[in-house]
Amino acid sequence: MEEKFPIVIEIKLTAKDLWKFSLYHAYWGSKGIFSAIFSLAAAYLLITAWSTSTVAYRIMLLVSALIFTVWQPLLLYYRSVKQAKNPRIQNGMTLSFDEDGFLVSQGEESLLLNWENVKRGVRIGDMIILYMDQIRAYLLTDGCMAEKKAEITELIKEKLPPKRRKRI
């Protein structure tokens, strides 16, 4: 990797980016397994008990089958659209990566974060998520990284040990 520091990118998140992040958190791991089993079980009961069940029971099973497959994703999308309208998201931010960490800048504010502060990095689809803790994370979309994607990916691989990164 030819080292040219700092590597500067502009992050402008869309409602779709925020939605993908929300879906990842809602359906990854045991929550996703539970959601899938619950929805499949409700759908199975709906199909097998259709002829012998009451209308109220059918409606309950239909709602149960759709709650994790349709309702929750729509609700997460609605929240993402609402969050994307927040001025802090709309204005975007600048991230400057180097050997020591990265500088996050937005307007007049800036925050310097060391690589030791990054708890873990995860790639989901076209996005790298750098978690600072369970609440704060920075979303680096492939679109925002553009031609600097390979450089940033290599830097993250170099700075985060394998146990603190997934699929990167």
Residue 1 pLDDT level (bands cut at 50, 70, 90)? very low
Cα 21 to Cα 109, 146, 163, distances in angstroms: 25, 19, 21
Q: What is the pLDDT of residue 151?
A: 94
CA distance 110 to 6: 15
Domains of the chain: 7-13+87-166 (2.30.29.30), 17-84 (no CATH)
Tens digits of residue pLDDT in 129-160:
999 998 899 999 999 999 999 999 999 999 99
Give the model's pLDDT for residue 134: 86
Cα–Cα dist 153/52, whole Å: 56
Half-sphere exposure of 34 (CA within 13 A, CB side): 6
pLDDT digits (tens, 9 = 90+) for 46-102: 999 999 999 999 999 999 999 999 999 999 999 999 999 999 899 999 999 999 999
Tokens found for residue 10: 């502009």
Q: What is the model's pTM? A: 0.86
Report DSSP letters for 34-57, one per residue. HHHHHHHHHHHHHHHTTTTS-HHH
Summarised one tens digit per residue, pLDDT across range 107-132 is 899 999 999 999 999 999 999 999 99
